[in-house]
């Protein structure tokens, strides 16, 4: 059977068209993810610069000022330095666990950003169980720290990994109970619905006023989850040298700090979403009718306004964990566990019972 030349050309052009459509489909999926990762990276660099400037002000010393104007590129210079440093492996350690551990810590936290509504129309994955997906994913990060400590074949590193796992378990339960209280008030586990439930009365509609106890417990638990002072027991310099990252160097050493600041940023974003109204304006509708809905408008303008409001609330809130790091002394390990199990857990459980009772009585 002989096929005419025009028919062969049509078949080849159709095959090329199908191949191009597959490439475009892959790029269409990867483009928003790449933009998200780039934006998150810039956000982490901003946090590093803010922490250095705020800590310098608290301690009355000079912050970064030589790497570009106001030292805004100092964090980028530090990352470049770590990128070109030699990558060392412990001779008697488990090289597979040693290499995978930092990656798991970073990837688990990056996935948490997929359910954060940065604006009314901008969320990577609007899931019905978005808030619990964040809790489930964030529970994977301590596994990477434990793998890093065990794979280092170092007693200090292994003890730091065990401390990280124990600390995460202790404070994950109160944090989850606080999130469950918010979901009961909003009648949804979707982060978009939780933000929408706070949009009716502007500033007075925030869950901060309806859940003040839960907000305090969530704040303390999130600081412990991020291993920020006074809860940085897994990497205490005086006791563990550097904890689970003692044997690391180069870019793998830098990944732990990236994971720490990523976790701090995502925790602050969830505080904004759960308690501070998310991307909603804080002006009550009774004062300026229709202004509350301005960030729900379609198009670039509404999305930009929503992103600006979300990031403004997030970075204003970040002053609390940054100032706390340079103010409070470190707890002992027994004090840390007692605070989580004997105080925060009963308080968060009581807050959940009160929230459930009030919801049942309002029916």
DSSP 8-class letter at 122? B
The pLDDT, as a whole number, for residue 1 is 47
pTM: 0.85
Contact 159, 233 (CB under 8 A): no
Give the C-alpha separation, 217 to 212, whole Å: 9
The pLDDT, as a whole number, for residue 351 is 92
DSSP 8-class letter at 115? G
DSSP for 186-234 reads HT-S-HHHHHHHT-SSGGGGSHHHH-HHHHHHHHHHHHHHTT-TTS-GG
| CA dist 361 → 180, 217, 352, 355, 356 (Å) | 18, 24, 14, 10, 9
The pLDDT, as a whole number, for residue 332 is 82
Angle value at C-alpha 135, between 151 and 353, nearest 5 degrees: 135
| CA dist 77 → 7, 49, 80, 182, 261 (Å) | 58, 12, 5, 41, 16
- Give the residues of the chain that fall short of pLDDT 70: 1-23, 25, 29, 236-240, 282-299, 363
State pLDDT tens for residues 313-337.
998 898 888 888 888 888 888 888 8
The pLDDT, as a whole number, for residue 274 is 92
Contact 43, 269 (CB under 8 A): no
The pLDDT, as a whole number, for residue 15 is 57
Q: Where are the domains of the chain?
A: 9-84, 95-362
């Amino acid at each position: 059977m002989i096929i005419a030349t025009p028919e062969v050309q049509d078949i080849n052009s159709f095959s090329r068209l199908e191949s191009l459509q597959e490439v475009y489909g892959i790029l269409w999926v990867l483009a928003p993810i790449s933009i998200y990762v780039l934006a998150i990276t810039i956000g982490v660099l901003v946090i590093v610069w803010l922490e250095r400037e705020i800590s310098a002000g608290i301690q009355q010393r000079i912050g970064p000022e030589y790497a570009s104007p106001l030292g805004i590129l100092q964090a980028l210079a530090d990352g470049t330095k770590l990128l070109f440093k030699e990558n060392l492996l412990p001779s008697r350690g488990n090289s597979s666990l040693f290499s995978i551990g930092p990656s798991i810590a970073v990837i688990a936290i990056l996935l948490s950003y997929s359910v954060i509504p940065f604006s009314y129309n901008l969320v990577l994955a609007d899931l019905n169980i978005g808030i619990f997906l964040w809790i489930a994913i964030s529970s994977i990060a301590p596994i990477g720290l434990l793998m890093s400590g065990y794979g280092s074949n170092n007693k200090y590193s292994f003890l730091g990994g065990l401390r990280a796992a124990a600390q995460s378990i202790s404070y994950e339960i109160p944090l989850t109970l606080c999130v469950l209280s918010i979901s009961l008030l909003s009648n949804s586990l979707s982060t978009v619905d939780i933000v929408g439930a706070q949009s009716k009365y502007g500033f007075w509609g925030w869950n901060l006023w309806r859940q003040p106890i839960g907000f305090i417990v969530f704040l303390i638990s999130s600081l412990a989850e991020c291993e920020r002072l006074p809860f940085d027991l897994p990497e205490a310099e005086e006791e563990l040298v550097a904890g689970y990252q003692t044997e690391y160097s180069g870019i793998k050493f830098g990944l732990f700090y990236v994971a720490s600041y990523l976790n701090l940023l995502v925790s602050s974003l969830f505080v904004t979403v759960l308690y501070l109204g998310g991307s909603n304006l804080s002006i009550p509708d009774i004062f300026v009718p229709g202004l509350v809905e301005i960030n729900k408008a379609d198009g670039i303008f509404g999305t930009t306004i929503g992103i600006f409001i979300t990031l403004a609330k997030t970075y204003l809130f970040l002053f609390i964990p940054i100032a706390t790091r340079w103010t409070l002394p470190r707890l002992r390990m027994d004090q840390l566990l007692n605070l989580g199990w004997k105080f925060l857990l009963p308080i968060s459980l009581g807050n959940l019972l009160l929230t459930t009772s009030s919801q049942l009585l309002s029916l």
